[in-house]
Amino acid sequence: MNTKKKICAALLSICLLAPCFSMISMAAEGTLQFSDPTTTNGAEFTVDVKMNTAGEAIGDGNVNVTYDPAMLEFINGTNATGGNGSVALSTTGDGTVSELAYSMTFKALAEGTATIDVSNYTAYLYNDETLTLSTGNSTVTIGAGDGTSTTAQTPGATASGDSLSVEVDGTSYTINENFSEAIIPSGYTASELEIEGVNRKCMVDSAEHYLFYLQDANGTSDYFLYNSSNATFQKTEMIDISDERTVFLMDPTASAKLPSQFKETTMSVNGKDFKAWQNTEDTEFFLVYARCNDGTESYYQYDSVQSTYQRYSVPTTTTDQTKKGLSDKISDLINDKLPIVLAVVWGIFLLLLIIIVVIAVKLSHRNQELDDLYDEYDIPEASDEIVSAKKADRKISKSKQKKNDEYFDDEEYDDDGYDDDEYYDDDEEYDDDEYDDDFKVDFIDLD
């Protein structure tokens, strides 16, 4: 009995553990980014916060941050409440966005550097999957002031005032060099690049592609790609496609001949428009161009239903349509116009069927009319006796012809009706030896 109890207890333990195993799942990953404003003592300023899932629909995002109340005073915010050293950030996505935005307005109370740090958070995707965040913080640089100023210094300016203003797509930005290590994407490292004679803090990958953190007039910072060949900045959006791979959306540096079913359009990602190509045969898929964190550039196929990206290799066999053979073109035409082809084939089949039926009906009516005519005039139809008589006549004719051939055989009669061998045999009847070659006739000379 003790053995049976032990076995039952072991089985019960396994059954109790089974639900625990089913609850284990991989959490999605995202980022929590802060702006790093520069201001003066006594001025009000804004810190912007973004929670990003890199493409997947986001759900709830709740964050608690702390700050030094001796340095900063919380005034108000968007999706933010708090005071006395802590602020709660909270909002929810609607299933169509992959980013949540918050903002906090503070007043600087003393000169120096103040930090706003994350104490805890809870975040989920729209499908209730847990979202793990890579969190940063905000570093606020507070310069000297008289304590009565109510306007902030230009966002993004450093303490020394040595900020650089750039323009991208008609919008002015300043280079934000006060970003924290937490916002540096995988595959990139902190670096510096000389621009207009000054080394600027930025990020660089293994292929020496540079990434800058630019800040707009509202104090919101974001990633921008830098083209060192022409010293220009380009908007981008960071997309995590795997644990090791991150891509940055961009406009293609060189055009490629894509398959004919892809038509050029634009695709909006977190409020930014990028050039894209929609698959007209399956409108749920798009092609976009991006740079991977390993330094390579390629097209990526975007699934608008599942919000996923996958590297796309442009097929070489379809780039030149003129190289296709006649059979390939006919095959493509049939595939493109398959419903029309099927309709035409069915139409021809039905037309032939109608013609066959009409001809059969007419033949049936004609035979009926002939039968009625025979019955009306009492015209006998060809019977088996008549057919047999005709066959007998043909046999007699053949017999007569055979006899004639026997009488006029070429072996017994020649063309004149006589046998040349019987009457004109040179060797038997008329032999040249019967006549004397010496026979002479004397002629009398009358003179």
Task: Give pLDDT, residue 161.
Answer: 42
Greatest Cα-to-Cα distance within the chain, rounded to the nearest angstrom = 187
User: Per residue in 203-230, is it b (16+ CB within 10 Å) or e — as a string?
Assistant: bbbeeebbbbbbbbeebbbbbbbbeeee
For 354, residues 6+ apart whose C-beta sits below 8 A from its C-beta are: none
What gap in Å lies between CA 415 and CA 418, rounded to an integer? 7
Q: Are strands 131-135 and 28-34 parallel, antiparallel or unpaired?
A: parallel
Neighbouring CB atoms inside 10 A of 134's CB total 16
- Give the model confidence (pLDDT) of 242-283 as tens digits: 878 889 999 887 777 899 999 999 998 888 899 999 999 999
CB-count exposure of residue 73 (10 Å: 0-12, 13-18, 19+): middle
pTM (two decimals) = 0.46
Task: Give pLDDT, residue 79.
Answer: 94
- Tokens 């006739």: give the residue: 441
Task: Give pLDDT, residue 219.
Answer: 75
What gap in Å lies between CA 49 and CA 249, rounded to an integer? 21
* Residues 173/216, Cβ–Cβ less than 8 Å: yes
Q: Identify the segments of the chain with pLDDT beneath 50.
A: 1, 17-25, 146-161, 318-323, 412-415, 417-418, 420, 422-430, 434-435, 439, 441, 447
Tell which residue, 21, 120, 34, 108, has the closest CA to residue 71: 108
Tell which residue, 303, 321, 320, 304, has the closest CA to residue 312: 303
